[in-house]
């Protein structure tokens, strides 16, 4: 399955700078998140997300969980 994402131009330039010559962006992203502990990431993000964003994120998570079942 293929997904389309939107990133700012400055972020794209930074990613291009660290991407290997023969490496796809998917391979780059996989390399960057390899070994990342999702629980530690969530703990780092605690308090950053506002109440409205929180509601939207939780709704999306519930929707995806229902799709997986």
**29 and 2 together in one domain:** yes
Count of domains in the chain? Answer: 2
20 within 8 A of 28, measured Cβ to Cβ: yes
**Domain membership of residue 65 as a residue range:** 36-69
**46 and 68 together in one domain:** yes
In sequence order, which residues have a C-beta less than 8 Å from that of residue 20 and are 6 or more positions away? 27, 28
Say yes or no to pLDDT of 49 above 80.
no
Mean pLDDT, the chain, whole residue set: 87
**7 and 20 together in one domain:** yes
**14 and 42 together in one domain:** no
**26 and 42 together in one domain:** no
**4 and 28 together in one domain:** yes
**11 and 30 together in one domain:** yes
CA 36 to chain CA centroid, Å, is 12
Confidence at 24, pLDDT banded by 50, 70, 90: very high
In sequence order, which residues have a C-beta less than 8 Å from that of residue 28 and are 6 or more positions away? 15, 18, 19, 20
For the residues 22-34, what does the mean pLDDT come to? Answer: 92
25 within 8 A of 19, measured Cβ to Cβ: yes
User: Is the whole model's pTM more than 0.85, yes or no?
Assistant: no
């Amino acid at each position: 399955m293929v997904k389309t994402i939107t990133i700012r131009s400055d972020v794209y330039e930074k990613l291009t700078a660290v991407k290997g010559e023969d490496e796809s962006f998917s391979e780059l992203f996989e390399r960057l998140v390899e070994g990342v502990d999702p629980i530690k990431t969530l703990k780092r993000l605690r308090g950053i997300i506002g109440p409205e964003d929180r509601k939207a994120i939780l709704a999306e998570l519930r929707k995806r969980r229902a799709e997986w079942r």
